[in-house]
A = this chain, B = another copy of it.
Amino acid sequence: MPKHALSVTREDDFAQWYQQVISEADLAEESGVRGCMIIRPWGYGIWERIQRLLDDRIKATGHDNCYFPLFIPLSYFEKEAEHVDGFAKEMAVVTHHRLVMQDGKMVPDPEAKLEEPLVVRPTSETVIGAAFSRWIKSWRDLPVLINQWANVVRWEMRTRMFLRTSEFLWQEGHTAHATEEGAREETMHMLEVYRSFAEDCLAMPVVAGEKSENERFPGADATWSIEAMMQDGKALQAGTSHFLGTTFSEAQNIRFQNDEGQFQLAYTTSWGMSTRMVGGMIMVHGDDDGLRVPPRVAPHQIVIVPMLRDQHEDERVLSYCHELRAQLSQLNAINEPVRVLLDTKPVKAATKRWSWVKKGAPIIVEVGARDVAGGNVSVLRRTSLYKDDGKLASEIMERHDFVDRAATMLEEIQQALYDEARSRLDGSIRRGVETFGELEKFFDEGGKYPGWVEVQWSRPTGAALANVVERLKALKLTIRNVPMDAPAADGNCIFTGDKAVERILVARAY
C-alpha cells in the first residue's frame, strides 16, 4: 500500500478530506470575512478555464454577455412575492453610503442613510426583467438572449468552501421569448449545454431531469437540474435551468406587440452554473493524494520539474527543459494548444513534484541530469500514480517519444477520469426499491457512502408532497430530480401507494 500525500483519506472522513484537498492543492482559503472565501491562483485558474469553455458554449448558442448592477432596490423584489419570500432570509442589505467617525470609531453615517435600502443581488431576475421590459416592444425584438458573469450574495448560516459561501461567482443566463414553446425549448437547450459541458469538460457524468415542485426556483414554473454524484454517494446540484413562464414578465411588465398587433406577455427563462462546480470537481475526481484536474480545465496540463543539483549540470538541465516546453507548447490536445508550465521556483524537486500531485496537474515531467544525458524524461500521470508495489509509477520515456504521445496521453487522462466517475455513478444508483421501508433499510444498511435510490412516485402536490418531503427529511434525504432518460413508471408510489406516474432520484445531498 502506498503512503498517500494527504493525512486524511476519503474513507476516514470525507468532509475533512475535502477541506484538506482545498488547502493542500492551494485552491482556496478562509478570508476572515464571514462566509466568504479567497480563491487562490490554482483554484481561480480552474474557474477561469471553466469560464472560458462554458462561455464559448453560451456564445455559440447565440447569447450575448452583459453586465447588470450589483445592487437591486428593495422595491424590485416586492413585485414578485414568491421570489422575494424565497430569498428574503438570506439577503445582504446596504443601508448607508458613508462612514463617519463617532467616539473614535468609524460607523455608518446616520446622515447618509439610503432612502430605499439596496439588496446585494442574490440573483438578477428582477433587475434584468426591468431592463427587458424597456428593451422588448415588438415580436421583432424577441428572443432576447443574455448572459452575465457576476458575483452574487446569499447570506448562508452554515458555509462550506466552494459549495455554500455567502458570496459566490457564477454565470446567470436570462432570456425572453414570444412563445411558451420557445421558452421551454431554451430551458431544455441550456440544460443540455450544462450536461454536455459537465461531462465533456469536467469529466463529470450527471443525471439531467426536472426538479420536484418543492425544489423549484422561487417564482419558476419548472426547474430542471443536472445532478452529479460525489465519492461519498451524495448528490450535488451542478447546474439549473428554469422555465419561468410569465411570472416575472407579469411582475416586471415585459410585454410585446405580436405580429397581429396585440400586446402579450413574454415567456422568460433563467439558468446558472457557479464556482460550486470546483467543489464538485474535487469530490468527483479527488483521491487520497489530492485533486485530479481533468486536462480540459487544468490551468497547466503538463508541469515540467527540473531536478537541479549543481551549477554546471543545472544549465544543461534547464535548457533541455526549455526546449521540451517549447516542443510541447506547439501541440494541440482536445482542440486547444497544450498548456505547459516549467516550474523553476527555488524549491526542492521532490517537494515540487508532490505539490503538483496534490494540485492534480494531469502530467508531471521530471528532468534530471541523467535524463538529459540519455535524451529521456521521467513521466508521471496523475491518474496512475502508483505501481502495484506501492512505488511511484514514473515512466522513463525517450523525449521525442513523450512529445509524440503527450496530446494522446492528455486525452486518455480526460477519458479515464470520466470513465471512472461514470462507472461509479452507474454502479451507485439502486433501482427496484418498491416500498418506503425498503428505502429506509437501504440508507440504514447501505454503509457510510450509500449512493442514490431511484423510486417510483405518484407526484403528489400540496400537503401530500409536504408529507413526503418531511418523511425523507427525517432520513436526511431529498428528492434530486425526475431523470429524463428513466423508463416510464410501471408500479406504485412508494409514498402514497397510488399508481406511480414517474421515477425520481432520492439521495443525501450537498
Tell me if A333 counts as interface (CB < 8 A to partner B): no
| Contact (Cβ within 8 A) B167 A69 | yes
Binds B, one of A41-49, A355-363, A399-407: A41-49
| Contact (Cβ within 8 A) B91 A38 | no
Question: Which residue of B39, B71, B89, B117 is within 8 Å of A167 (Cβ)?
Answer: B71
Cα distance A37–B68 in the bound complex, in angstroms: 7
Binds B, one of A96-104, A213-221, A410-418: A96-104
Cα distance A475–B105 in the bound complex, in angstroms: 37
| Contact (Cβ within 8 A) B98 A95 | no
| Contact (Cβ within 8 A) B65 A45 | yes
| A29 proximity list for chain B (CB < 8 A) | 131, 134
Question: Which residue of B44, B65, B88, B95 is within 8 Å of A95 (Cβ)?
Answer: B95
Tell me if A311 counts as interface (CB < 8 A to partner B): no
| Contact (Cβ within 8 A) B167 A31 | no
With most chain B CB atoms within 10 A of its CB, the pick from A67, A68, A169 is A67
Question: Would you give the shortest CB distance from A85 to chain B, in whole angstroms?
Answer: 9
Chain A interface residue count, Cβ-Cβ cutoff 8 angstroms: 63
| Contact (Cβ within 8 A) A38 B131 | yes
Tell me if A397 counts as interface (CB < 8 A to partner B): no
As for how many copies of this chain the complex holds, the number is 2
Tell me if A224 counts as interface (CB < 8 A to partner B): no
Tell me if A106 counts as interface (CB < 8 A to partner B): yes
Known: A120-B120, A127-B33. A66 touches B39 (CB 8 A): yes
Cα distance A90–B84 in the bound complex, in angstroms: 28
Question: Would you give the shortest CB distance from A219 to chain B, in whole angstroms?
Answer: 15
| A84 proximity list for chain B (CB < 8 A) | 99, 106
| A167 proximity list for chain B (CB < 8 A) | 69-71
Tell me if A305 counts as interface (CB < 8 A to partner B): no
Tell me if A93 counts as interface (CB < 8 A to partner B): yes
Cα distance A36–B119 in the bound complex, in angstroms: 13
Question: Closest residue of chain B to A71, judged by CB?
Answer: B33
Cα distance A173–B465 in the bound complex, in angstroms: 52
Question: Which residue of B71, B99, B117, B150 is within 8 Å of A36 (Cβ)?
Answer: B71
- By Cβ-Cβ distance, the 4 closest A-B pairs, closest first, are A36-B69, A41-B64, A39-B67, A97-B155
20 example contacts (A-B, Cβ-Cβ < 8 A) are as follows: A29-B134, A31-B69, A31-B131, A32-B127, A33-B69, A33-B71, A33-B72, A38-B67, A74-B106, A84-B99, A91-B99, A93-B95, A93-B96, A94-B94, A94-B95, A95-B95, A95-B108, A96-B117, A97-B155, A108-B117
